[in-house]
Amino acid sequence: MTVSYGRYKKYHPWLYQPRHPILWWIKKWAYVRFILRETTSLAVMFYAVVLVLYVNAVSKGPEAFAAFSEWLASPLSISLHSVAFLFAVFHSYTWFNLAPKAMVVRVGTKKVPESVILGANYAMWAGVSIVLFWILTTI
Amino acid sequence: MTETDTHTTIEEVATIELEVFRYQPEKASAPSFDTFTVPLYDEWVILDALNHIKDELDGSLSYRWSCRMGVCGSCGMMANGDAVLTCAAFLKDYAPGPIRIEPLANFPVARDLIIGMDDFMEKLNRVKPWVVNENGKSLEEGEYLQTPAELDDFKQYTMCINCMLCYSACPIYGMEPEFVGPAVIALAQRYNLDLRDHGNEERMDILSADDGIWQCTFVGECSEVCPKHVDPAGAIQRYKVEATNSWWKSKLMPWGK
Amino acid sequence: MVKRSNEPFWWALFGAGGVVAALTVPVLLLLTGLAFPLGWLPAPGYEALNELFSHLLVRLAILVIVSLSAFHWAHRFRFTLYDGLQIKHLNAPVAFLCYGSAVAFTVLAAVSLYTF
């Protein structure tokens, strides 16, 4: 990035600009939190793959499903899922908290307060979770 | 030397150390830090300390300041790694110190604590930060009327004082100097949301370009450091939604406008 | 006239995927990945799941969830690589890898779910 200083001839400024460090995000907790938030996408992708494999195992027959269920109960799977669960919840939490920033909803002339939008998001999350929970535990 | 009633005598005043970034290219090609000891008065801010240094200790120290009350946006610097307006950062909040004073991050340093802000000024100009209204009312027709609700929509973004603390806090700007940046987008939004303005389309060409809003990954630090609570991060996210709607409309209904 | 970016396309998918993943992944992951394998809750048997997934609508819903989740991951991971490893100069290959994986995954998932 070049910057020109026009008629500033007598003292030619040598501009000092160090390279941005590659571990720039380690310096502040806010940046660490940001990187953690971004890595939640890996947990989401992990579960998308697992879910497809889950349905696939059922389609292949009872033996395949039993084998897959056994893998799901293995220490490796449990630890992966535990970590993924924490990241998935963190994704939901940060996502809903940021949603009001992107949407400014107006009713008439008054702005809907952010807490209302937040509440609606969390209510939707609870609702969807309850429905899915009910489906999977009562079949 | 006499002191006023509100101050104790010089011998009894607590002191605090400031480690100040120095860069004098005619003397040395690499920057260094100088340590100064200044009095720790309750009502002193970092700017007062810097003025004390320049007046009493080292007249060669170079830095920008003006209004000393948080409305001009000149005195932004890094104090202990955080971007602050030095006229609003009290010394006692950093006691016992030392306080590390550095120029605003992510900008090239010309001398000591002075950064080069040409990049910011060029970008600001690019988004046309004025009311674009070619076929506006004539003077005889009177003023434009705005309801309080209409003003409320963009008032927050008018508060920007161009202090560039948000650029220091934005890691994207640090890594990608072409990024238009938070303040510029917030200021563009100030005019986009102003009903007197008709420059939305022109600004969208600039903002929805590759080096515009799409570089932002919503770190959110810009809004955290903003001394005027402009919330540029929110402005950017709102604009992403608007630009996305506009893009999809142009692809799915290209005949419309 | 500066060319307007085509990012809105990917950003829209990222947003939709983010909402879908935020709403559905925690509870589904908790149940199928932890509660059922660890026996906290009685797991649905093979017959019950077979019956559930036989409905085309259920599999379609699952396809929507996993596909949008994949595009959400693709967009976010692409920028995580740019921010974390500072490889924005490798824009084209990184974007191709991320979105390409999401597209490939969607195709595979669609085939797998369709041929239930």
* Mean pLDDT value of segment B3-11: 55
Last residue of a domain, one of B115, B146, B163: B115
Total number of domains constituting chain B: 2
Place of tokens 């692809």: B251
* Mean pLDDT value of segment C48-63: 93
Q: Which subunits have 3 or more CB–CB pairs within 8 Å of chain B?
A: A, C
Q: Is A58 in the same domain as A119? A: no
Q: Are B77 and B100 in contact (CB under 8 A)?
A: no
Of the candidates B175, B212, B248, the beta carbon closest to that of C12 is on: B248
What CATH number should be reported for the domain holding residue B58? 3.10.20.30
Q: What is the pLDDT of residue B106?
A: 93
pLDDT at C21 over 50: yes
B237 at A interface, C-beta within 8 A: yes
Residue B177 lies in a domain: yes
Do B110 and A103 make contact, defined as CB atoms within 8 angstroms? no
Residue B142 lies in a domain: yes
Greater pLDDT, B177 or A93: A93
Residue B158 lies in a domain: yes
Do A4 and B118 make contact, defined as CB atoms within 8 angstroms? yes
Residue A34 lies in a domain: yes
Q: Are B165 and B225 in contact (CB under 8 A)?
A: yes
Total number of domains constituting chain A: 2
The Cα C75–Cα B163 span in angstroms is 32
Band of pLDDT at residue B6, cut at 50, 70 and 90: low
Greater pLDDT, A107 or B175: B175
Q: What is the pLDDT of residue B54?
A: 96
* Mean pLDDT value of segment B174-188: 92
Provide ipTM, 2 decimals. Answer: 0.92
Do C12 and B244 make contact, defined as CB atoms within 8 angstroms? yes
Phi, psi of B105 (to 5 degrees): -65, 160
**CATH code assigned to C9-30+46-114:** 1.20.1300.10
Q: What is the mean pLDDT of chain A?
A: 87
What CATH number should be reported for the domain holding residue A39? 1.20.1300.10
Q: Which residue of A has its CA nearest to C50?
A: A58
Which chain B residues are closer than 8 Å to A112 by Cβ? none
Residue A64 lies in a domain: yes
Of the candidates B108, B111, B219, the beta carbon closest to that of A34 is on: B219
| C-alpha gyration radius of chain C | 18
Residues in chain B: 257
Q: Is A70 in the same domain as A37? A: yes
Q: Is B85 in the same domain as B69? A: yes
Q: Are B162 and B73 in contact (CB under 8 A)?
A: yes
HEC profile for B118-162? HHHHHHHHHCCCCCCCCCCCCHHHCCCCCCHHHHHHHHHHHCCCC
For B199, the domain range is 118-252
The Cα C45–Cα C48 span in angstroms is 5
Helix or strand or coil: residue B53? helix
pLDDT at B205 over 50: yes
Of the candidates B175, B208, B248, the beta carbon closest to that of C4 is on: B208
Q: Which subunits have 3 or more CB–CB pairs within 8 Å of chain A?
A: B, C
Q: Is B68 in the same domain as B134? A: no
| C-alpha gyration radius of chain B | 22
Tell me the nearest-neighbour CA distance from C23 into chain B, angstroms.
20
Contacts of residues B34-37 at CB distance under 8 Å and 24 or more positions apart, as own/partner, are: B34/B58, B35/B98
DSSP annotation of B67: S
Between strands B15-22 and B99-102, the pairing is: parallel
